[in-house]
A and B are shown apart, each in its own frame.
Chain A
Amino acid sequence: MNPTDTTIRPGVSIAGVGTPSTGAPRSDAADPVMELSGVSVYYGAYEAVRDTSMPIQEKQITAMIGPSGCGKSTILRSLNRMNDLIPGARVSGAVTYHGQDLYAKDVDPIEVRRRIGMVFQKPNPFPKSIYDNVAYGPRVTGMKVSSMDDLVERALRDAALWDEVKDKLKTSGLALSGGQQQRLCIARTIAVRPEIILMDEPCSALDPIATAKIEDLMSELSNDYTIVIVTHNMQQAARVSHYTAFFTAEVDEQQERHGRLVEFSQTGKLFTNPADKRTEDYITGRFG
């Protein structure tokens, strides 16, 4: 586990986790906005993750947890075809988005990414001004924008960054602190109004205070967006998510490691009453 990532906020303990602050998972089992069925991801001949099936519920936070090398980030990147950028990467099975297979031949990965945005592990603002960082997405996607200034302000407000940067929109995004940079990256992502935001360990490079801000922001954003977050940090998953998927790495006869989904359920249930022995071992720290 990443040592910088093990923040425990006062008053929150794993045992006390029932539901995240934004409320219970939807009881009405609406159609999931995304669905993975039998998804395996290969790098060349190597099968990195095998046979993953799980839903992504609309306007909920779904967390993927598990030890290093369990394939959770790989699965996350398969949700908006970022795996396409890795030479030799290949996906089998079906990833559907509103019932449409994202890996069908006629699907344009650029259109996919315009609807399913991504925030990365290490804050990666462009070496441009704060304003241009946020305006970049709307500009390249050709969004019809009546006022770019308003759009930038709204995105920065939604990312809880506006008050800190409103007087220095022309300064470089790289001049901000790590936590501010990550919120800038979130602002940049929501500026193109995606439906889903994927977050790949968004807090692992941040200090506890910055982490807390991002977590609050995630809860806030889940009113409008579907969020999928990969995290090393079980407490973080317990605090913010509605659903949790636990992955682990299995070693096969050829001594190769393959990621595998062990358990998927509502976060409260997974942390208090896991169905699988491996999940229980992991969340209670007996993972070996």
Chain B
Amino acid sequence: MSTPTITTETRPDSSASGDALTQRRSRPGEVAFRLAMQACLLIAFGVLAALLTWVLVKGWNRLDSRLWTEMPTGLASRLDGAGVQSALVGTLWIISLVALICLPIGILSAIYLEEYADNTRWYNRLLELNIQNLAGVPSIIFGILGLGIIARALGLGFTVITAAIVLSLLVLPVVIIATREAIRAVPQSIRHASYALGATKWQTVSRQVLPSAVPGIATGSILALSRAIGEAAPLIVLGAVTFITFNPDGLDSGYTALPIQIYTFITRSQSEYTELAAGAIVLLLAIVLAMNSIAIFVRNRFEKRW
């Protein structure tokens, strides 16, 4: 049993060592952990900076309007007047279609799972588990699935719409998970307040929950689209053409995309191709960064504080 005297003895005694409050002690553990964290940060930023520098230096000569006004070419002698217009337009086609297909499906699925589904039911829990797992499936698997089912069985072929559907499926789990997180972050008290005023479920969801979740949904969706824009693997098996000199003109049109174009350029030995690839990389990064800035803007502009 402890006695009162023990507790007073264990208390730091300020009278015995008068400078205990002012003497700063060094704490090696604190310092070491801080240094470790800074080192990790440095590695992450260092790699990114090195990458950006390399592509900017390599591609500097090609960073002009030729990049988006000219078509790619297969002839090294004509490279001076070549660009990546068909790939850029193909990428814009695909990503717009992905947004149209996967955002409504993903957001509505998330609303169902979060607001309507009874998660004590086994089938809803199975559904959730599957979505989590789908988010981890490698993209090439989605490509092969798309090749077998959408391109061949459904007969859509190697077209813009096939690519868009497959990329939509690929990022759908990301959209669902991000939207669910955003919906879950809306305090329960807001829903209760709405119900207590006689609002229906859909009124509560559409007028309170969704408007409050918009920043999170928009951020997650745009990040998902950014991922889709950079995917090359599924498109390789889905017949993205390596060199085409026309822009897609419809859902059933042949296409290529920026990551594919970069890949084919970079496998060529001539240095002109490497330069053009670097230019295309800068273009792709610019699109992704622009989309991410929109995400940040939306989040800051509409963020709710409770």
Instruction: Mark A residues whose CB is within 8 Å of B.
Output: 80, 82, 85, 87, 110-111, 113-114, 117-118, 120, 122, 124-127, 136-137, 140-141, 174, 185, 188-189, 192
- List 5 A-B residue pairs with CB atoms under 8 Å apart, sorted by A's residue number: A87-B118, A124-B189, A126-B190, A140-B207, A141-B197
- Whether the Cβ atoms of B198 and A137 lie closer than 8 Å is yes
User: How far, in angstroms, from A121 to B292 measured CA to CA in the complex?
Assistant: 40
Q: Tell me which of A85, A111, A117, A125 contacts B197 (CB under 8 A).
A: A117
Q: Tell me which of A110, A114, A124 contacts B193 (CB under 8 A).
A: A124
| Binary CB contact string for chain B from 193 to 217 against chain A (1 if under 8 A, 0 otherwise) | 1111111100100011000100000
- Whether the Cβ atoms of B192 and A113 lie closer than 8 Å is no
Q: Tell me which of A87, A111, A127, A141 contacts B306 (CB under 8 A).
A: A127
| B208 / chain A contacts, CB cutoff of 8 Å | 126
Whether A110 contacts B199 in the complex (CB less than 8 A), given A87-B118, A124-B187, A140-B207, comes out as yes
- Whether the Cβ atoms of A140 and B305 lie closer than 8 Å is no
| A117 / chain B contacts, CB cutoff of 8 Å | 196-198
Q: Which residue on A lies nearest to B191, using beta carbons?
A: A85
Report B237 CB to chain A, min CB distance, Å. Answer: 44
User: How far, in angstroms, from A125 to B192 measured CA to CA in the complex?
Assistant: 11
- Whether the Cβ atoms of B120 and A87 lie closer than 8 Å is yes
- Cβ of B268 under 8 Å from chain A: no
The 9 residue pairs across chains A and B that have the minimum distance between CB atoms: A114-B198, A137-B197, A118-B196, A124-B189, A140-B199, A140-B203, A127-B304, A113-B198, A141-B198
User: How far, in angstroms, from A118 to B198 measured CA to CA in the complex?
Assistant: 10
| A126 / chain B contacts, CB cutoff of 8 Å | 190, 193-194, 208
- Whether the Cβ atoms of A185 and B197 lie closer than 8 Å is no
Q: Which residues of chain B from 153 to 201 have any CB-CB distance to chain A below 8 Å in the complex? A: 187, 189-200
- Whether the Cβ atoms of A192 and B189 lie closer than 8 Å is no
User: How far, in angstroms, from A75 to B62 measured CA to CA in the complex?
Assistant: 73
Q: Which residue on B lies nearest to A84, using beta carbons?
A: B195
- Whether the Cβ atoms of A120 and B189 lie closer than 8 Å is yes
Q: Tell me which of B118, B187, B198, B306 contacts A110 (CB under 8 A).
A: B198
| B304 / chain A contacts, CB cutoff of 8 Å | 127
Report B162 CB to chain A, min CB distance, Å. Answer: 42
| B191 / chain A contacts, CB cutoff of 8 Å | 85
| B199 / chain A contacts, CB cutoff of 8 Å | 110, 136-137, 140-141
- Whether the Cβ atoms of B207 and A82 lie closer than 8 Å is no
User: How far, in angstroms, from A80 to B197 measured CA to CA in the complex?
Assistant: 11
- Whether the Cβ atoms of B196 and A110 lie closer than 8 Å is no
Given contacts A113-B196, A117-B197, 5 further A-B contacts (CB under 8 A): A118-B196, A126-B193, A127-B212, A127-B304, A137-B199
| B120 / chain A contacts, CB cutoff of 8 Å | 87
| A174 / chain B contacts, CB cutoff of 8 Å | 305-306
Report B93 CB to chain A, min CB distance, Å. Answer: 38
Q: Which residue on B lies nearest to A80, using beta carbons?
A: B196
Report B292 CB to chain A, min CB distance, Å. Answer: 25
| A125 / chain B contacts, CB cutoff of 8 Å | 193
- Whether the Cβ atoms of B212 and A140 lie closer than 8 Å is no
- Whether the Cβ atoms of A192 and B198 lie closer than 8 Å is yes
Q: Which of A117, A124, A141, A174 has the most CB of B within 10 A?
A: A124
Report B284 CB to chain A, min CB distance, Å. Answer: 37
| A120 / chain B contacts, CB cutoff of 8 Å | 189, 192-193, 196
- Whether the Cβ atoms of A124 and B207 lie closer than 8 Å is no
Q: Tell me which of A87, A113, A127, A192 contacts B195 (CB under 8 A).
A: A113
| B305 / chain A contacts, CB cutoff of 8 Å | 174
Q: Which residue on A lies nearest to B304, using beta carbons?
A: A127
Q: Which residue on B lies nearest to A122, using beta carbons?
A: B189
- Whether the Cβ atoms of B118 and A136 lie closer than 8 Å is no
Report A138 CB to chain B, min CB distance, Å. Answer: 9
| B198 / chain A contacts, CB cutoff of 8 Å | 110-111, 113-114, 117, 137, 140-141, 192
Q: Which residue on A lies nearest to B188, using beta carbons?
A: A85
Whether A82 contacts B193 in the complex (CB less than 8 A), given A87-B120, A127-B304, comes out as no
- Whether the Cβ atoms of A110 and B200 lie closer than 8 Å is yes
Q: Which of A82, A125, A137, A174 has the most CB of B within 10 A?
A: A137
Q: Which of A80, A127, A185 has the most CB of B within 10 A?
A: A127
| B196 / chain A contacts, CB cutoff of 8 Å | 80, 82, 113, 117-118, 120, 189
- Whether the Cβ atoms of A136 and B192 lie closer than 8 Å is no
User: How far, in angstroms, from A148 to B244 measured CA to CA in the complex?
Assistant: 61
- Whether the Cβ atoms of A189 and B197 lie closer than 8 Å is yes
User: How far, in angstroms, from A174 to B199 measured CA to CA in the complex?
Assistant: 21
User: How far, in angstroms, from A140 to B207 measured CA to CA in the complex?
Assistant: 9
Report A42 CB to chain B, min CB distance, Å. Answer: 15
Report A284 CB to chain B, min CB distance, Å. Answer: 34
- Whether the Cβ atoms of B200 and A85 lie closer than 8 Å is no
Q: Which residue on B lies nearest to A143, using beta carbons?
A: B198
User: How far, in angstroms, from A129 to B24 measured CA to CA in the complex?
Assistant: 50
User: How far, in angstroms, from A188 to B195 measured CA to CA in the complex?
Assistant: 12
- Whether the Cβ atoms of B118 and A192 lie closer than 8 Å is no
Report A194 CB to chain B, min CB distance, Å. Answer: 8
